[in-house]
């Protein structure tokens, strides 16, 4: 036995190990060379005792080197073979993840809820509280305290559903303004969302029941410019940051001055399109400075305080924002419609 | 209202202003423009002609053979089918080759029943001048020489269709709008021509006396007597202006009244003095309230019953007109009228409005009067009428007028404001000078003393009464586009934490569970409500007194009928799985405030098509779990589910939810009756919860405990119970009864097995016992298990299942 013979034996063992195609063959190679009793390398080791003492040290080193080399080769091959087994399992475990679990499908919020949430979020950031009031309302709160006495022409535009002579379904959420003023001293900063009712035959833009969000700010130094800035902030938050607004003088009995607010068309940018009737502007809400008599009716001194108020229709905003052409879709709860949101 | 730009031009120069600028200036200053229509003038090729011969075509009942003088030396033959021709009258004649674009006709030389016809005589409709196609357009004598192109008399025009707000009746007239336009364009306003006519004959006061019995209903009554006015055709320019604004010319007397109405905004009414006059020719006009039940024959022929709220014009003891709305049949002007009693009055707006609405009679006059007009307009309108009557028709005006104002003349009130105050309210500096200029342009009288302005509105601007009104005039004149956009900032109110946040959490939870949100109409039919309203008190639904239809005639007491109707609609449209919820108010009857009790409800519907009974049962269980979860998430612990028959629900598959000693909800499968009522096939699981005062209260504050480091002991417990035992009470008992170490318990399995014996079923519970301080011994675990078994035996009569 010479160191050269040991090296040659090791080289053969390494070659056999690398040629093994599965763990069983590799185990056979291990036994052939490293088997505890008759492995070729094991036996070569046993022969070392017979070598001349002068050669033993060199032989011993050569043997240890050869054995380490073979064991390393066997281990490396074992790792290779194991890895290929994993690869096969992994390949066999392929899944089509484009097939989704259809038993888990969340429902959809109604588009009106989405719009109401957006409106509320914008005004909460501006420091407004959200206040609610009754839907069955008195004529006093719905009309009289808001400067719309019986016989006032403005009642024509509020086709009203009555429960009795002086109890009705509120035609707007403006009565919540009045209830708030009577309950809480200025400063006041609220929005009042809710359902409202009109005796309107339903069509593409009219509803028996619809929603409104009323806003009211009362403080000592409120200005028309504040109204403008507030509604500009709202319009940009709701419809995009490039939007402009314009205040068009108009008439509401409970505000003076009164103005309607147009937002520059978010579809054409103001150039004119079908949605904006080729005007470049879309009417989105009514507003104005709270009429001094309305402040007085709410127990607020108009000599000391001013206020502004505004009202908007979530149905109209939803139709504009989501491109809903027929508003009746908003009232039918067809799931195909709801699933678009 | 419609306005003619040519007419406006009488009062303000606007002909040169391009339409987009005109529209923009009107819109920016507060007049809504619906549209602007370019109205062409009379077509080229049409000229004035005189009928010089007129005879029936032999053998025809309606055709005429005419000869017309068209300005050429020889008259031309024209066959005509209209019945309003008069020999010697002036008419429009379209020469052969003329294109009548309005009716798509090219005029030619034709032969009609053997008679030659060159060109044609035209109706207003054929000329594109109006909708009137019943007769030939008749021109007044002296309108123009034959041969004059009609274009000279009827130039092109622009028709403005505007929406005037209810507070601005002064703008319901060409003069009023011209004032707005003059201010918007910064141009001068020309007043109407009012030169008084010569007054001839006996004074009107000798013929007419006026008494106003009800000064609150009639602020002013001004009468004139005009003689020599007939229903002959009005001058073409009057006809044309009336047509341009949508009023059909009916003859001079009526046309003049309508003309002044559209021009100045004062409705005028004309009576035939000889029809209403007494034997001596004199009349007594009384403005009074009607007698209850008094009949009235209106011009339109219909008979109305009046009552004591209605204001009438009584002439000589009979009801000649419904004040401010419509004249009576017996008193109006007609072809035979020679003497006219002109009424220029001011009636109370709300009174006119109430009568007009109640009787369903809405006229040009009532639309103006109901907005409350200034008494000053009555004088202006009366003066303009007699001026025109004299100028246009040479009518004789009696010395007058008879003018009664029981409360005295109208006085505009001066309003004190300051420029600095206006600026503070607007949010930008305002100079006294610019405020004064803006107001003066709008016809206000302004005196300035430093910062202070004293502002007197024009007498017809009844809408301007207080400083806030002046603020609006100044603001819209200076232009809101000048305002800087600011937000109110200095003081913020203390914020209320609003309950809707909890409501939104509920909404998100339910949507996450796969249910779509519906918003159904809170108005409903009573029968739909009575079919299913599990939480509502037994009182009937609140009824709407004036509903649009039976389907919207009552207020809902439950969300469920609306949701089931929506489910049925979806089913009819082919949807397969319909899961809907709604959060909204119901109306449970009158509240102590006199309004209604309005609880906020959550309704849930899960519809499973026919043939899926197993799925339906699973869905019902899921829906019940969802309802309990909503409660548990937002209130003080989960509500208790109490099996209980509920009206409208399957008696073996329904339960009530209880929390805090209150019934807060129901859950169950829809019973067959309501299912058929709502036309649903298959099965529907439904639930309704009351959210107000319970769920949306915001829920309990969670309390954290340290996590135990000791190992727990897991014990599975197999028991046998009666087949209809409910697991809810069993779980509740295990959770709450005296085993402090019992950390969690759940039902692992429920099964039936013949080996259990008849009428029995098996449950397997998994319990986890844990002591936070030390590891439990095997002996302790056995003791806890025995205690659990004892608890179950007591709660539901369970016994341990013998292991085989
Ligand atoms: Zn557009």
Query: Domain for residue A106, yes or no?
Result: no
Lowest mean pLDDT among A294-298, B219-223, B714-718, B740-744: B740-744
Q: Sign (positive/negative) of CA torsion B312, B315, B318, B320?
A: negative
Taking Cα atoms as reference points, which of B156, B161, B157, B130 lies closest to residue B36?
B161
Give residue A316 CA to ligand 1 midpoint distance, Å. 15
Residues A122 and A37 in one domain: no
At residue A1 the predicted structure's pLDDT band, cuts being 50, 70 and 90, is confident
Over residues A57-70, mean pLDDT: 88
pLDDT at A61: 87
| Inter-chain CB proximity B491 and A199 less than 8 Å | no
**Do residues B175 and B264 make contact, with C-beta atoms less than 8 angstroms apart?**
yes
| Residue in B353, B367, B493 to test binding to A, most A beta-carbons within 10 Å | B493
Taking Cα atoms as reference points, which of A235, A287, A286, A237 lies closest to residue A263?
A235
For residue B11, give how far its alpha carbon lies from the nearest alpha carbon of chain A (Å).
23
The partner residue sitting opposite B425, judged by closest CB among A223, A233, A248, is A223
Q: Is B278 helix (H, G, I), strand (E, B) or coil?
A: coil
pLDDT at B126: 92
In this structure, the strands spanning B516-517 and B120-121 are unpaired
pLDDT at B63: 92
**Do residues B684 and B669 make contact, with C-beta atoms less than 8 angstroms apart?**
yes
Q: List CB contacts (< 8 A) between B543 and chain A.
A: 163
Query: Domain for residue A161, yes or no?
Result: yes
Task: Give the rounded percent of residues in chain B with a pLDDT score beyond 70.
Answer: 96
| Inter-chain CB proximity A154 and B552 less than 8 Å | no
| Inter-chain CB proximity A107 and B517 less than 8 Å | yes
> CATH number for the domain including A251?
3.30.930.10
Query: Domain for residue A215, yes or no?
Result: yes
Q: Is pLDDT of B699 > 70? A: no
pLDDT at B329: 87
The partner residue sitting opposite B166, judged by closest CB among A137, A154, A167, is A154
Residues A89 and A115 in one domain: no
Counted across chains A and B, CB pairs separated by less than 8 A come out at 244
From A37, A58, A93, the end of a domain falls on A93
Residues A70 and A192 in one domain: no
Contact residues for A287 (Cβ-Cβ < 8 A; gap 6+): A227, A231, A247, A255, A258, A259, A260, A261, A308, A309, A310, A311
What single string gives the DSSP state of each residue in A54-116?
A: HHHHHHHHHHHHHHHHHHHHHHHHHHHHHHHHHHHHHHHT---TTS--TT-------HHHHHH
**Residue B641: in which H helix or E strand, if any?**
strand B640-643
For residue A9, give how far its alpha carbon lies from the nearest alpha carbon of chain B (Å).
57
Strands of B306-431, DSSP E: 311-315, 318-322, 326-327, 339-347, 396-397, 402-404, 415-418
Q: Ion ligand 1 — residues with CB under 5 Å?
A: A 265, 267-268, 273, 275-276
Residues A179 and A303 in one domain: yes
CA distance B349 to B217: 8
From A58, A93, A128, the end of a domain falls on A93
Q: B31 phi and psi, to 5 degrees?
A: -105, 120
Please provide the distance, in angstroms rounded to a whole number, between the alpha carbons at the two ends of chain A.
85
| Inter-chain CB proximity B518 and A110 less than 8 Å | yes
Residues A76 and A131 in one domain: no
Residues A170 and A300 in one domain: yes
| Residue in A110, A180, A237, A279 to test binding to B, most B beta-carbons within 10 Å | A110
Question: Which structural domain range is residue A15 located in?
Answer: 3-93
Q: Is pLDDT of B495 > 80? A: no
Q: B454 phi and psi, to 5 degrees?
A: -110, 120
> B119-147, pLDDT tens digit by residue?
999 998 899 887 777 889 988 888 889 99
For residue B711, give how far its alpha carbon lies from the nearest alpha carbon of chain A (Å).
35
Give residue A226 CA to ligand 1 midpoint distance, Å. 27
Give residue A270 CA to ligand 1 midpoint distance, Å. 6
Q: List CB contacts (< 8 A) between A332 and chain B.
A: 566, 569
Residue of B nearest to A199 (CA): B548
Give residue A281 CA to ligand 1 midpoint distance, Å. 7
**Do residues A14 and A69 make contact, with C-beta atoms less than 8 angstroms apart?**
yes
pLDDT at B290: 95
Query: Domain for residue A105, yes or no?
Result: no
pLDDT at B524: 93
Residue of B nearest to A193 (CA): B500
Residue of B nearest to A247 (CA): B480
- ipTM for this prediction: 0.85
At residue B638 the predicted structure's pLDDT band, cuts being 50, 70 and 90, is confident
pLDDT at B612: 86
Over residues B371-381, mean pLDDT: 95
Q: List CB contacts (< 8 A) between B579 and chain A.
A: 107
Q: Taking every pair of C-alpha atoms in chain A, what is the biggest distance, in angstroms? A: 133
* Spatial strand order in the sheet of B32-39: B2-4, B157-163, B32-39
Q: Is pLDDT of B371 > 70? A: yes
At residue A97 the predicted structure's pLDDT band, cuts being 50, 70 and 90, is confident
| Inter-chain CB proximity A332 and B523 less than 8 Å | no
Q: List CB contacts (< 8 A) between B593 and chain A.
A: 134
Residues A61 and A124 in one domain: no
Q: List CB contacts (< 8 A) between A134 and chain B.
A: 593, 595-596, 598
Integer CA distances (angstroms), B249 to B229, B243, B258, in order: 15, 7, 9
**Do residues B224 and B386 make contact, with C-beta atoms less than 8 angstroms apart?**
yes
| Inter-chain CB proximity A228 and B486 less than 8 Å | yes
pLDDT at B308: 94
Which residues are bridge partners to B151 per DSSP?
A: none
Q: Is pLDDT of B804 > 60? A: no
| Inter-chain CB proximity B425 and A113 less than 8 Å | no
pLDDT at B698: 57
Q: B485 phi and psi, to 5 degrees?
A: -80, 115
pLDDT at B621: 94
Contact residues for B445 (Cβ-Cβ < 8 A; gap 6+): B455, B456
> B228-273, pLDDT tens digit by residue?
999 988 888 999 999 999 999 999 999 999 999 999 999 999 999 9
| Inter-chain CB proximity B493 and A228 less than 8 Å | no
Q: List CB contacts (< 8 A) between A251 and chain B.
A: 165-168
For residue B314, give how far its alpha carbon lies from the nearest alpha carbon of chain A (Å).
24
CA distance A309 to A191: 9
Residues A319 and A207 in one domain: yes
At residue B556 the predicted structure's pLDDT band, cuts being 50, 70 and 90, is very high
Q: List CB contacts (< 8 A) between B472 and chain A.
A: 249, 256-258
Residues A77 and A173 in one domain: no
The partner residue sitting opposite A331, judged by closest CB among B496, B512, B521, is B521
Residue of B nearest to A250 (CA): B30
Over residues A253-269, mean pLDDT: 93
Query: Domain for residue A100, yes or no?
Result: no
> B3-49, pLDDT tens digit by residue?
999 999 999 999 999 999 999 999 999 999 999 999 888 999 999 99
Query: Domain for residue A22, yes or no?
Result: yes
The partner residue sitting opposite B485, judged by closest CB among A136, A228, A248, is A228
At residue B346 the predicted structure's pLDDT band, cuts being 50, 70 and 90, is very high
Give chain A's radius of gyration (CA, Å): 42
From A64, A93, A122, the end of a domain falls on A93
> B427-445, pLDDT tens digit by residue?
999 999 999 999 999 999 9
Q: Is pLDDT of A43 > 90? A: no
Residues A257 and A303 in one domain: yes
At residue B696 the predicted structure's pLDDT band, cuts being 50, 70 and 90, is low
CA distance B434 to B419: 9
Give residue A268 CA to ligand 1 midpoint distance, Å. 4
pLDDT at B737: 66
Burial string for B192-219 (b: 16+ CB within 10 Å, else e) reads beeeebebeeeebbebbebebebeebbb
Q: Mean of the per-residue pLDDT values for chain B?
A: 91
Residues A235 and A128 in one domain: yes
Contact residues for B427 (Cβ-Cβ < 8 A; gap 6+): A223, A224, A225, A226, A228, B483, B484, B486
Dihedral, B65, B69, B73, B77 alpha carbons, nearest 10:
-20
For residue B112, give how far its alpha carbon lies from the nearest alpha carbon of chain A (Å).
49
> B82-99, pLDDT tens digit by residue?
999 999 999 999 999 999
In this structure, the strands spanning B283-289 and B208-212 are parallel
Q: List CB contacts (< 8 A) between A229 and chain B.
A: 484-487
For residue B744, give how far its alpha carbon lies from the nearest alpha carbon of chain A (Å).
27
Q: List CB contacts (< 8 A) between A201 and chain B.
A: 548
Residues A151 and A293 in one domain: yes
In this structure, the strands spanning B303-305 and B311-315 are unpaired
Domain count, chain A: 2
Query: Domain for residue A101, yes or no?
Result: no
Q: Is pLDDT of B194 > 90? A: yes
**Do residues B753 and B762 make contact, with C-beta atoms less than 8 angstroms apart?**
yes
Q: List CB contacts (< 8 A) between B481 and chain A.
A: 246-247
Q: List CB contacts (< 8 A) between B510 and chain A.
A: 107
Query: Domain for residue A102, yes or no?
Result: no
């Amino acid at each position: 036995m010479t160191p050269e013979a040991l090296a040659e034996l090791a080289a053969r063992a390494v070659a056999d190990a690398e040629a093994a195609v599965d763990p069983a063959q590799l185990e056979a190679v291990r036994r052939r060379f490293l088997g505890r009793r008759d492995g070729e390398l094991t036996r070569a080791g046993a022969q070392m005792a017979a070598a001349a003492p002068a050669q033993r040290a060199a032989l011993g080193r050569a043997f240890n080197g050869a054995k380490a080399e073979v064991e390393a080769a066997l281990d490396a091959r074992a790792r290779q073979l194991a890895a290929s087994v994993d690869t096969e399992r992994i390949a066999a475990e392929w899944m089509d993840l484009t097939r989704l679990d259809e038993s888990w499908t969340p429902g959809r919020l109604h588009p009106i809820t989405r719009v109401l949430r957006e409106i509320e979020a914008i005004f909460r950031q501006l420091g407004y509280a959200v206040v609610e009031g009754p839907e069955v309302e008195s004529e006093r709160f719905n009309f009289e305290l808001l400067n719309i006495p019986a016989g006032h022409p403005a009642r024509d535009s509020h086709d009203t559903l009555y429960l009795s002579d002086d109890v009705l379904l509120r035609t707007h959420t403006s009565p919540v303004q009045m209830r708030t003023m009577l309950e809480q001293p200025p400063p006041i900063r609220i929005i009042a969302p809710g359902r409202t009712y009109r005796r309107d035959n339903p069509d593409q833009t009219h509803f028996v029941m619809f929603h409104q969000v009323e806003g009211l700010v009362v403080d000592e130094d409120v200005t028309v410019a504040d109204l403008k800035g507030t509604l500009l902030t709202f319009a940009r938050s709701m419809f995009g940051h490039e939007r402009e607004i314009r205040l068009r003088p108009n008439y509401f009995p409970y505000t003076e001055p009164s103005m309607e607010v147009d937002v520059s068309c978010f579809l054409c940018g103001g150039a004119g399109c079908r949605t904006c009737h080729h005007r470049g502007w879309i009417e989105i809400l009514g507003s104005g400075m709270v009429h001094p008599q309305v402040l007085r009716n709410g127990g607020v001194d108009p000599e000391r305080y001013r206020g502004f108020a505004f009202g908007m229709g979530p149905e109209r905003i939803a139709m504009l924002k989501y491109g809903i052409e027929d508003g009746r879709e908003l009232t039918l709860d067809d799931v195909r419609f709801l699933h678009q949101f | 209202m419609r306005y003619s730009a040519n007419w406006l031009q009488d009062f303000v120069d606007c002909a040169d202003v391009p339409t987009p600028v005109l529209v923009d200036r009107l819109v920016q200053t507060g007049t809504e423009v619906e549209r602007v229509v370019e109205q062409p003038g009379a077509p080229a090729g049409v000229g004035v002609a005189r009928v010089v011969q007129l005879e029936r075509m032999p053998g025809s009942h309606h055709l005429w053979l005419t000869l017309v003088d068209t300005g050429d030396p020889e008259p031309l033959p024209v066959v005509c089918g209209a019945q309003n021709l008069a020999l010697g009258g002036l008419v429009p004649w379209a020469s052969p080759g003329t294109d009548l674009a309005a009716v798509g006709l090219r005029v030619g030389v034709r032969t009609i029943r053997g008679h030659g016809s060159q060109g044609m005589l035209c109706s207003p409709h054929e000329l594109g001048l109006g909708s009137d196609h019943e007769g030939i357009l008749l021109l007044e004598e002296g309108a123009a020489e034959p041969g004059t192109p009609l274009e000279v008399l009827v130039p092109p025009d622009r028709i403005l269709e505007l929406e005037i707000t209810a507070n601005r009746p002064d703008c319901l007239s060409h003069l009023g709008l011209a004032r707005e336009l003059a201010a918007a364009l910064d141009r001068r306003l020309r007043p109407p021509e009012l030169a008084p006519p010569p007054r001839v004959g006996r004074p009107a006061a000798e013929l007419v006396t006026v008494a106003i019995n009800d000064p609150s209903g009639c602020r002013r009554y001004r009468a004139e007597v005009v003689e020599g006015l007939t229903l002959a055709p009005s001058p073409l320019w009057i006809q044309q202006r009336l047509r341009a604004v949508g009023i059909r010319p009916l003859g001079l007397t009526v046309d003049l009244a309508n003309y002044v109405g559209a021009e100045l905004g004062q409705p005028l009414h004309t009576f035939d003095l000889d029809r209403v006059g007494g034997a001596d020719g004199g009349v007594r006009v009384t403005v009074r309230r009607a007698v209850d039940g008094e009949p009235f024959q209106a011009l339109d022929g219909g008979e109305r019953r009046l009552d004591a709220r209605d204001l009438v014009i009584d002439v000589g003891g009979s009801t000649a007109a419904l004040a401010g709305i419509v004249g009576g049949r017996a008193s109006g002007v007609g072809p035979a009228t020679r003497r006219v009693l002109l009424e220029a009055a001011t009636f109370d707006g709300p009174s006119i409005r109430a009568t007009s609405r109640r009787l369903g009679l809405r006229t040009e006059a009532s639309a103006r009067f109901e907005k409350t007009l200034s008494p000053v307009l009555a004088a202006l309108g009366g003066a303009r009428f007699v001026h025109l009557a004299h100028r246009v028709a040479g009518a004789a005006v009696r010395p007058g007028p008879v003018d009664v104002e029981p409360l005295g003349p109208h006085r505009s009130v001066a309003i004190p404001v300051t420029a600095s105050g206006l600026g503070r309210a607007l949010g930008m500096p305002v100079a006294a000078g610019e405020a004064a200029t803006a107001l003066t342009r709008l016809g206000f009288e302004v005196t300035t003393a430093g910062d202070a302005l004293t502002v007197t509105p024009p007498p017809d601007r009844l809408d301007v009464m207080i400083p806030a009104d002046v603020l609006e005039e100044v603001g819209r004149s200076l232009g809101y586009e000048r305002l800087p956009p600011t937000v109110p900032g200095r003081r913020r109110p203390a914020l209320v934490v609003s309950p809707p946040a909890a409501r939104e959490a509920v909404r998100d939870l339910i949507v996450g569970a796969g249910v779509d949100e519906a918003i159904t109409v809170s108005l409903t039919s009573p029968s739909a409500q009575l079919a299913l309203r599990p939480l509502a008190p037994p009182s009937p639904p609140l009824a709407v007194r004036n509903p649009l239809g039976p389907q919207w005639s009552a207020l809902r007491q439950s969300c469920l009928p609306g949701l089931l109707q929506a489910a049925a609609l979806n089913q009819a449209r082919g949807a397969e799985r319909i899961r809907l919820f709604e959060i909204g108010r119901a109306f449970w009857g009158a509240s102590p405030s006199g309004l209604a009790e309005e609880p906020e409800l959550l309704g849930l519907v899960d519809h499973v098509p026919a043939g899926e009974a197993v799925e339906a049962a699973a869905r019902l269980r899921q829906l019940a779990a969802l309802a309990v979860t909503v409660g548990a998430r937002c209130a003080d612990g989960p509500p208790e589910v109490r099996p209980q028959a509920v009206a409208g629900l399957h008696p073996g598959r329904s339960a009530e939810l209880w929390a805090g000693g209150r019934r807060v909800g129901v859950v169950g499968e829809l019973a067959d009756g309501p299912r058929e009522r709502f036309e649903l096939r298959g099965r529907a699981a439904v639930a309704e919860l009351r959210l107000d005062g319970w769920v949306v209260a915001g829920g309990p504050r969670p309390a954290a405990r340290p996590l135990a480091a000791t190992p727990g002991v897991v014990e599975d417990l197999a028991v046998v119970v009666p087949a209809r035992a409910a697991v809810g009470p069993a779980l509740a008992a295990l959770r709450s009864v005296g085993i402090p170490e019992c950390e969690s318990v759940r039902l692992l399995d429920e099964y039936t097995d013949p080996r259990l014996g008849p009428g029995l079923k098996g449950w397997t519970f998994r319990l986890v016992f844990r002591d936070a301080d030390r590891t439990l011994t095997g002996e302790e675990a056995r003791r806890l298990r025995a205690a659990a078994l004892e608890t179950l035996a007591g709660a539901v009569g369970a016994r341990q299942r013998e292991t085989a």
